[in-house]
Structure 1
């Protein structure tokens, strides 16, 4: 377990007016490249990355209309805290349910996400409008190097260490046993949590189900084979960002910390490509929600430090790790990495609910928040039923 020091302290974010003025000034004088050289058809618009016209529109909105203070106020209402674990300050949201029978639940984000991914679902998970729905004491930490958590000053903060820190964090809040959910890096960390700390993790709900190496397509259905082909295509042809951040996070980090437009384009590209949309990510996710996320990266200067999670943990999930606690797994159709159930069963030994919805991509809590909440509740209900 990590070495513990420091108490849990209430925390409030408050960007200075000077910081916000500086952001707007940088946006006003941004130097942009010429437009992309692909045809104007919707199927081609994003072939070279974020189209110039789309970026100009978002930059203008960010500079003139976006309201960071509104997001800050929402964080304050939910409840923010910090604590120090293994000499690193960890920031987290903590929303206790009013219901005595509520179960502790930790939600872990990924990249290029943040705590902003869950801002629209926390209240409903903690105190659902439907009295018959399960309730949770919700904890949403910022990964090391992300948001208002500290930036590690040395190597070592990979997914194994983060998972151990989450156990320590939940223990400090009085939650010796808890449920866990995550997607992207959060899904990886949730898997490690369940595999390494089954005495603390009641069960999990994950959007990430990486199978052990060596799985074959023998016996898979046509749909499952299609999943494997799509995942293979992603890693072969659309994962340059991951290789860059896994090998040279410092180099790309200079641009991400110095240029708000560069940061926006780097992140917006992923929201566009990984969401269940035909063209723009704004078909499902509001500009404000995406800018909440991007502005959080900008104000905390975490473009480089967040990228380093790839350097620390890319392809690092232990091939021998097995998850024996009850697991609910959801594979959204437009996610970037989908595992067939026969493959997932090689690692997750007690799958109590498997769901493959018809809509949704990599960011379901932002794309389809109502469905996300329903699915998460159903999955965790199945997990809790299996523990009784």
Structure 2
């Protein structure tokens, strides 16, 4: 953005892995980042590891309870991709049905909250997403990211960069606002009426409008 396109400052937005990248941009290059917009702040492992719960807010305690249930029921994919991505890739690269199941179950579980996949996504969109992995033979490299991230990423440091957050109710683990306020320069908070983890794909109009609304404040400062 700065060296090739010539922007001295810019805003950044992302969700899921994109949220992590965006937060690293703000942490590493705060002088270039005017503001960041997120749909999540990752899994709050620091909150989950706290022993003293006396001063936790009710929403922080609820987050811990939901996280415990999520790890018990939904996190196996993450552990496998972080430890044995190549073994997994041999199986999925040999079976289009297996790859489709591995990917599609996440769309079912993390979107809309009702398990009705095609009320939230078109068959074409789902098949296109699966095809991106199948036709490019990139199952292993995509899964291996989990292994590499766990071993090589530096710790995120705090940043004063303004943060906007829009939370979708069916996302994996929507963060407690009280926690975000304590750890980020939270300037914008939206609780969406519907939508899940794949917000930009599932509810593009809601997502785009919130991004535009938040960044509007910082547009005149970008250059």
Q: Is the 8 A contact 2:60 2:178 kept in 1?
A: no
1:213 corresponds to: 46
1:294-329 alpha-carbon deviations (Å, 9 max, x no partner) = 111111110110001100113876555112111101
Asked if 1:288 is matched to 2:124, the reply is yes
Give me the whole-angstrom Cα distance separating, in 2, the residues matched to 1:384 and 1:231. Answer: 36
1:275 corresponds to: 111
**Change in 2 beyond 3 A, CA 1:268/1:379:** same
1:344 corresponds to: 180
Structure 2, unaligned runs of 5 or more: none
**Change in 2 beyond 3 A, CA 1:314/1:381:** farther
Give me the whole-angstrom Cα distance separating, in 2, the residues matched to 1:347 and 1:326. Answer: 12
Asked if 1:233 is matched to 2:69, the reply is yes
Number of aligned residues = 217
Give me the whole-angstrom Cα distance separating, in 2, the residues matched to 1:200 and 1:368. Answer: 29
Q: Is the 8 A contact 2:12 2:35 kept in 1?
A: yes
2:212 corresponds to: 377
CA deviation after TM superposition for structure 1 residue 263, in Å: 1.0
Q: Is the 8 A contact 1:194 1:323 kept in 2?
A: yes
Give me the whole-angstrom Cα distance separating, in 1, the residues matched to 2:194 and 2:221. Answer: 27
Q: Is the 8 A contact 1:276 1:361 kept in 2?
A: yes
Q: Is the 8 A contact 1:228 1:338 kept in 2?
A: no
1:179 corresponds to: 11
Asked if 1:353 is matched to 2:185, the reply is no
Q: Name which one, 1 or 2, has greater alpha-carbon Rg.
A: 1
Q: Which gives a bigger RCO, structure 1 or 2 (Cα 8 Å, sep 6+)?
A: 2
**Change in 2 beyond 3 A, CA 1:244/1:275:** same
2:81 corresponds to: 245
Give me the whole-angstrom Cα distance separating, in 2, the residues matched to 1:305 and 1:203. Answer: 30
Q: Is the 8 A contact 1:188 1:317 kept in 2?
A: no
Give me the whole-angstrom Cα distance separating, in 1, the residues matched to 2:31 and 2:23. Answer: 14
- Superposition TM-score, scaled by structure 1 size: 0.52
Q: Is the 8 A contact 2:60 2:179 kept in 1?
A: no
CA deviation after TM superposition for structure 1 residue 384, in Å: 4.8
CA deviation after TM superposition for structure 1 residue 199, in Å: 1.6
Computed over aligned residues only, the root mean square deviation of the Cα atoms, in angstroms, reads 2.4
Q: Is the 8 A contact 2:163 2:188 kept in 1?
A: yes
**Corresponding residue SS for 1:172:** coil
2:150 corresponds to: 314
Larger helix share, 1 or 2: 2
CA deviation after TM superposition for structure 1 residue 226, in Å: 2.7
1:261 corresponds to: 97
1:202 corresponds to: 34
Structure 1, unaligned runs of 5 or more: 1-168
1:149 corresponds to: none
CA deviation after TM superposition for structure 1 residue 208, in Å: 1.9
For residues 50-61 of structure 1, the aligned pairs below 5 Å read none
